[in-house]
Structure formats: C-alpha cells, structure tokens
C-alpha cells in the first residue's frame, strides 16, 4: 500500500505537526509577549527564559515524541533500524507516560492545593501537552506493538540502564540548577520557580512568585519528588515491557 493511502502515515504527520507546532507556538508566544511560563511579576529575561522553558520535562518529552513521529513519517513503510527498535518505542512511550501521570496525579491537583490560579493559557496548554500529546504516542504504541525477543532478565540487565540515562541526566540538570541558584549571589532575588519548575505543591500558603531561596524542608520535598519521579520512570517501563511482550505472545 502506498503511504499516501495509509491512514497511519497521516496520523504520524498530524501528530508531529500538533506536538512540534504546539511547542514552537508556545515558545514563540512567550518570547514575543516577554512572559514567563506562569507569570511571576519578575522582569522578563530572554536568556533566563531559555533555562526556564527547557527545564520542564513536559516540553522535553513532548519534543522527543514529536521528533519520533516526524522521523517515523519520513521513513513510513521503510526499514529503519532506529524506528524498528521496539526498545526505543518502549522508552519514548514510557517518558511521555510519566509526563501524563505526574500532571494528572501530582501537578494538576497541586495547583489547587497551593491555591494557584490557572490562567486561560494554562487551561489550554496543560491538557494539550500532558494529555492529548501523550495519548497520541500511547495509542500508536499500543496499536503497533512489535515482538520483543528479549527475556525480562536480558532486557533489564543489558538495556534498562540506557533507558534511565535520560531521566538521570534530567534530574542531575535540575539539581545543578538548584545548586547554582543557591550559590550565585546575583540570582538570590530570582523567583525559585524560574529555576525549578515543579514548585507548586510544597506549602499551600506560599506564593511561588515570592519564593526565592527554598527552605530545608522544601529541598527535602524536592529530593523525594525527584526520587518518586525516577521510580515512575522505572515503573512505567516495567509495565510497558511486560504489556508489549504479553500482547505479541497472543498474536
């Protein structure tokens, strides 16, 4: 069948457009309007905004999925060692699933617990990047499962660490930003939310726009949060591995 007659080709193209186009539009909007991701009443800085925008795992994981769909559309119906690698699909699906889960279970309720008011933009972009885009990848993965020939023991002894490299690097990146923030004097008046994007559920009475240097209890909470995130990365990968393997065994 020609790719032009295959609905899945258009699914890949449409998904890539929705995800990458959405990311670019959001980034361009904030750069032109000179506003932070969540308005903080702090003077806008182009170079600091780059760090804030790309510190969100949401945007990073969406970008990864968008690129995956774009490459998959380009090589649709063609043999491609990278795209035919079920381990890569497993990893990308796991990453974006963590994005969805953390938003639904932790971040979205956290906005209400901490009495933060969501803007119209956040009501739109929240479900867009945390629910719609993840659903596109998860749905595709579950309907295009390829056989995983590795045993669980072989997979987790040989490949699981490679899957965790990206989450570990991301966590180290956030820790580096926090350490830099606490030790560079010129950053002392910068709202902590610009440095660490998940500071929304620590204290219901705190205003994230006014929080600068976090307290010790806050740092402990951040450490626990990052540890839970790492466990989620491992957990979703485990769930998808056995689910994919079970689904292919039934065919």
61, 99 Cβ separation under 8 angstroms? yes
CB-based contacts of 48: which residues, under 8 Å, 6+ apart?
Answer: 190, 194
Q: Residue 82's pLDDT band (boundaries 50, 70, 90)? A: low
Would you list the domain boundaries of the chain? 3-250
How confident is the model at residue 248, as a pLDDT?
Answer: 81
Residue 208 has pLDDT above 80, yes or no: no
SS3 225: helix
Q: Determine how many CB atoms are found less than 10 A away from the CB of residue 99.
A: 25
Residue 207 has pLDDT above 70, yes or no: no
Question: Of all residues in the chain, what percent carry a pLDDT higher than 90?
Answer: 52
200, 111 Cβ separation under 8 angstroms? yes
For 25-51, what is each residue's pLDDT tens digit?
999 999 999 999 987 788 999 999 999
Instruction: Return d(Cα 177, Cα 135) in angstroms, integer.
Output: 30
Instruction: Return d(Cα 189, Cα 174) in angstroms, integer.
Output: 19
For 115-163, what is each residue's pLDDT tens digit?
777 888 989 999 999 999 999 999 999 999 887 778 888 998 889 999 9
Cα 246–chain centre separation: 26
* DSSP letter (8 states) at residue 215: P
Burial class (CB in 10 A: 0-12, 13-18, 19+), 204: exposed
Tokens linked to 71: 């490459």
150, 24 Cβ separation under 8 angstroms? no
How confident is the model at residue 204, as a pLDDT?
Answer: 47
Choice between 211 and 60, residue whose per-residue pLDDT is larger: 60
Instruction: Return d(Cα 247, Cα 218) in angstroms, integer.
Output: 43
The span from the first CA to the last CA of the chain, in angstroms, equals 22
CB-based contacts of 99: which residues, under 8 Å, 6+ apart?
Answer: 57, 58, 61, 62, 129, 130, 134
């Amino acid at each position: 069948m020609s790719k032009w007659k295959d609905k899945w080709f258009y699914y890949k193209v449409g998904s890539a457009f929705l995800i990458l186009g959405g990311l670019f539009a959001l980034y361009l909007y904030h750069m032109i309007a000179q506003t932070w991701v969540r308005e903080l009443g702090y003077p806008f800085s182009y170079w600091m905004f780059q760090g804030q925008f790309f510190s969100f795992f949401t945007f990073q994981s969406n970008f990864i999925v968008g690129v995956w769909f774009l490459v998959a559309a380009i090589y649709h119906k063609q043999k491609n060692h990278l795209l035919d690698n079920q381990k890569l699909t497993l990893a990308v699906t796991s990453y974006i699933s963590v994005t969805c889960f953390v938003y639904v279970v932790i971040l979205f309720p956290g906005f209400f617990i901490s009495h933060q008011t969501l803007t119209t933009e956040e009501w739109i972009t929240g479900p867009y990047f945390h629910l719609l885009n993840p659903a596109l990848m998860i749905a595709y993965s579950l309907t295009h499962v390829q056989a995983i020939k590795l045993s669980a023991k072989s997979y987790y002894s040989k490949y699981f660490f490679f899957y965790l490299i990206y989450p570990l690097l991301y966590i180290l990146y956030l820790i580096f930003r926090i350490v830099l923030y606490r030790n560079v004097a010129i950053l002392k008046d910068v709202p902590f939310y610009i440095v660490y994007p998940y500071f929304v559920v620590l204290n219901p009475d705190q205003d994230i726009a006014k929080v600068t240097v976090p307290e010790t209890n806050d740092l402990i909470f951040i450490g626990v949060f990052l540890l839970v995130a790492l466990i989620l990365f491992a957990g979703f990968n485990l769930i998808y591995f056995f689910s994919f393997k079970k689904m292919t065994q039934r065919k």
